Each structure stands twice: as C-alpha cells, then as structure tokens.
Amino acid sequence: MNTPAEKTPAIVQPVGAGAPETAVILATGPEGSTERAPEKTFWSQLKASMAMFGNAKSATGLIILGLFALLAIFAPWIAPTDPNSQNLNDTLQPPSLHHLLGTTHIGQDVFSQLVYGTRGVLVVGFLATIMATVVAIAVGVTAGYLRGWRSESLSALSNVFLVIPGLPLMIIVASQFQDPPLWVVAAVLGFTGWAWGARVLRAQTMSLRNRDFIQAARANGEPLHRIILVEMLPNLMAIIASSFVGTMTAAVLGLTTLAFIGVIPVSNLNWGTILFWAQQNNAFPDYWWWYVPAGLCIALLGVALSLINFGIDEYVNPRLRSAGERARSMKRRGLNINASVTQVRTAQAAAATGGAASEGDAV
C-alpha cells in the first residue's frame, strides 16, 4: 500500500557567512519541489524594526509622551483660562478648586500656563529633532557608504559641528530678532544637534556596507537609493530611533535652559519661561506651586524619553534582551530575581516537585 510522502524539513541556505538577514529558506515538498520564502520588503522590515517599542519600558515612556502630546493638542479645551489673562485680586494664591496650581504675582493661572507651555516645548523639541535626524541620516549614512575623500570630508564636517557651542550661537541668533519665532529656535537647536547622530550612523553604516547582502544587492545592479532605503535603513532603524530620542532630550533641555536664563523672549510660553518668571519674582521657596509643577514636567518628560531609550537599548543589545527575558520568565514562575542563588535554586526545586524544599536541600 502506498503511503503519502511526508514533507521533509525546511532547508536554510544562507547567501553568505555572517549574513543571516539574507538567508533563503527553501521548503521541499513530497516531490522535491522547493518553495521560496516571501521576500523581505521595506515595509515588512520596518514593521519588524518597530518591535523595539514592544517592551514595558518603551511602552511606559510612549504613554507618558502621549499624555504630554494630548495636553499640547487640546490645550484650549483643557486650560481653564487664558494663560496671559491677569487678575490682580487673585495674586499668589495657593492651589484651590478655582486655580488648580495657584496663581502668579499678577494673578495668572499657573495650570493654564503649564498646559500651554507644553505645546511650546513639544513643538520646538520635535521640530529640532526632526531637522537634526534628517541631516544626521543624510550625512551619516552617506559618509559611511562612500569611500575615500568624500567620506572623510563628511566625517570632518561632523567633527566641526560637534564642537560648535549651541548656547552662544542661540544668543547671537536671538539678538537679531525682536521676537524670534519657535521655528527659528528649533532650527538653531537642530543645526547644532545633528553631529553626534551622524557619527554613530556613519560607524554603523561602515559595518553594514561590507555585509554579504549589501554586496549581493550591489552585484545585482540595484540602484544606490534602493540599497540605502530598502537594505540599509531598516537595519539602522534602532540606531536612528535611539538617536532621535537622545536628540529630543537635548533639545528640550536646551530650550528650557535658554528660556530660564532669558535668552528666549518671555512671550514664547514654555516651561522654562514659567521658571524664569518664578525666579525673577523671588518665588523660591515660599510659592512652591509656581515652580515645582514646571520642574516636575521637565523631569517627567526626561524620564519618558529615557525609558524609551532604555527600551530601545534592551531591544538592540542581545545581552540586555536575554537578561530582560530571563527576568520576566522568573517573575512569571514566582521567583525573586533579586534573591541569592541558593534561594532561587530552592524555589526552583520546590516548584518542580510541587512541595516546599527544606533548608538542607539548598546548595
């Protein structure tokens, strides 16, 4: 009696050593036919790259950042009053039901200023970061892919911008405007903040350009833009995301610092200008409701960006990723990850046998 032929196991045929990204998986059927696995596309690799935001740290940071974004978008509906409206009958009032975070020396509502200030911080932060990231990708990836004097010239350009002081440049630019708009502040912060990301991307691109899948794409006559967009950028997505988060952190801190020292006109409302007016009117330490909320918002936004960065690092670094997976596995099994080795082994033995292990069984 004839029996149906069983399907043989899949055969993995890597294109070259050290290039698991381009391994071709062939499944042999009952008659020896082969089925090629679906080809990787830019969107499929991009979706795989977004898995870096799937861990708890990145998710927590994104939730906090999303809350700030909602405050900025719906500021006119969330803020109870106009942030610039004055009421001299309610000066320096502590928090109450009428003024959730109290009032300033001229009766302005601190909560309304905080909500509208979130918009200024995020607008400048995102604009500066997007500008810096675009320039960093263009310069860094190009410098890493090219060879010879062109690569060295772009590398030297990055080194020059690494040492350009942002604060004096911002003071000079701000002095040319009576009321500099937010996009000018963002442009200066982005202009001085792209070099670090470009250096990191150049180093990573130099290691990618010699991989077998890049050499194969070049040998097949693929155009340069497709090699960079389809082959390289998805493999650089984690580095780009980490650089984006770090640049935004620096931009937010730079904006609030410039506003606090009075370089940016006080008409551009943000958390730094709230601290500036509190310092100018001797709010420290008696009128805590004037300066503490703005400082907490700056710290909380920094924590959110740091959590996103930590989550990306855990995704990129195999050691951190394996350690995190091991810790989560131990928590699911009811083991204390901070316990000593003896206690962990005892708990493991008790879980395996279904009974409590005695102290003499511990090793």
Query: Can you spell out the DSSP letters for 113-128?
Result: HHHHHHHHHHHHHHHH
Cα 314 from Cα 54, distance rounded (Å) = 11
pLDDT of residue 301: 93
Bridge partners (DSSP) of residue 35 are: 27
CA dist 168 → 157, 175, 263, 276 (Å): 20, 11, 10, 19
- Mean pLDDT, to the nearest integer, of 15-30? 44
Candidates 92, 124, 115; CA nearest to 277 is 92
Bridge partners (DSSP) of residue 109 are: 103
**For residue 18, is pLDDT > 70?**
no
CA dist 162 → 191, 197, 256 (Å): 11, 10, 21
Is the model more confident about 6 or about 182? Answer: 182
Q: Which of 6-20, 40-54, 111-125, 176-190 has the lowest mean pLDDT?
A: 6-20
User: How many of the other CB atoms lie within 10 Å of CB of 183?
Assistant: 14
pLDDT of residue 345: 56
Q: Which fold has domain 43-81+114-325?
A: MetI-like fold (1.10.3720)
pLDDT of residue 43: 63
pLDDT of residue 6: 45
Indicate whether this model's pTM tops 0.85. no
pLDDT of residue 65: 92
User: How many of the other CB atoms lie within 10 Å of CB of 256?
Assistant: 28
> DSSP secondary structure string, 165-213?
-HHHHHHHHHHT-SS--HHHHHHHHHHTSSHHHHHHHHHHHHHHTTSHH
- Mean pLDDT, to the nearest integer, of 173-194? 81
Residue showing tokens 């200008």: 273
Cα 334 from Cα 351, distance rounded (Å) = 9
Q: Which of 31-35, 154-158, 287-291, 313-317 has the lowest mean pLDDT?
A: 31-35
- Mean pLDDT, to the nearest integer, of 50-69? 83
- Output b/e per residue, 295-334; b: 16+ Cβ within 10 A: eebbeebeebbebbbbbbbbbeeeeeeeebeeeeebeeee
Q: Which of 19-23, 173-177, 347-351 has the lowest mean pLDDT?
A: 19-23
Contact 26, 13 (CB under 8 A): yes
Residue showing tokens 């509208």: 116
Backbone angles phi and psi of 194, in degrees to 5? -95, -15
pLDDT of residue 354: 53
Instruction: Indicate where the chain has its CATH 1.10.3720.10 domain(s).
Output: 43-81+114-325
Q: What mean pLDDT value characterizes the chain?
A: 77
Q: Which of 21-30, 43-52, 243-252 has the lowest mean pLDDT?
A: 21-30
- 221-279 pLDDT tens trace: 888 788 888 888 878 888 888 888 888 988 898 888 888 887 777 677 889 889 998 88
- Mean pLDDT, to the nearest integer, of 63-81? 91
**For residue 28, is pLDDT > 50?**
no
